[in-house]
Amino acid sequence: MTGRIERLKENYEIEIRRVAFPLRPDTPEEGITMEKLFSERGVDPVQVQERLEQTAREENLPFGKREKTYNSRLAQELGKWAETRGVGDRIHDAIFRACLVDGKNIGRISVLVELVEREGLPSEEAETVLKKRTFKKHVDRDWLRSREMRVRIIPTLAFNGRFLVGARDYEKMARFVERNYTPSAHP
């Protein structure tokens, strides 16, 4: 998890529930260059990279120079599997590092299985889960929920029908939690 989210969890004793989001589901297995991704959006890739690096430094998070972005669908399915084993945060963090620090192609089963093995989890089980698409429906439900909630950007914090969209500084996130979070309510 990001440093800001970890701080929110600690300071407000909130539980974070990840909802998978269809982040460029049309991305081919081999990925697309960051230059192409941002040129399609009319955004300068150098500025985006600099902003991401600055945010990572502020939060003391590792971050590498990404040349490509990859399809995250299988990684999301792996994350759902890991959540059922009680190690969701650990695998989500490992996926984050693999993709955003090491530049690994998280759209490939072999990369995800290697990641699971490195984390000391049963790699054969993970490979079977990924090949059989055991958690496909779980991610499908999350994608539907994210569409119903009109989530268009990650991260999005949601409490009681209110949303804070995009990466924000910790103080803004904390104010949002203070104003909107009630332990008995769900987004």
Structural domain containing residue 108: 20-143
Q: How much is the pTM?
A: 0.86
pLDDT range class, residue 123, cuts 50, 70, 90: very high
Whether 108 is covered by a domain: the verdict is yes
Whether 39 is covered by a domain: the verdict is yes
Q: How many domains does the chain have?
A: 1
Whether 77 is covered by a domain: the verdict is yes
Are 20 and 143 within 8 A, CB to CB? yes
pLDDT in tens, 157-184: 888 889 998 878 889 999 999 998 776 5
Residue 102, domain CATH: 3.40.30.10
Q: Which pLDDT belongs to residue 45?
A: 80
Whether 76 is covered by a domain: the verdict is yes
Q: Which pLDDT belongs to residue 48?
A: 82
pLDDT in tens, 26-77: 999 999 998 898 888 888 888 888 888 887 788 777 888 888 999 999 999 9
Whether 65 is covered by a domain: the verdict is yes
Task: Give the CA dihedral 24, 88, 173, 4, nearest 10 degrees.
Answer: -100
Whether 171 is covered by a domain: the verdict is no
Q: 157: which strand partners?
A: 164
Q: Which pLDDT belongs to residue 98?
A: 95
Whether 148 is covered by a domain: the verdict is no
Whether 6 is covered by a domain: the verdict is no
pLDDT range class, residue 152, cuts 50, 70, 90: confident
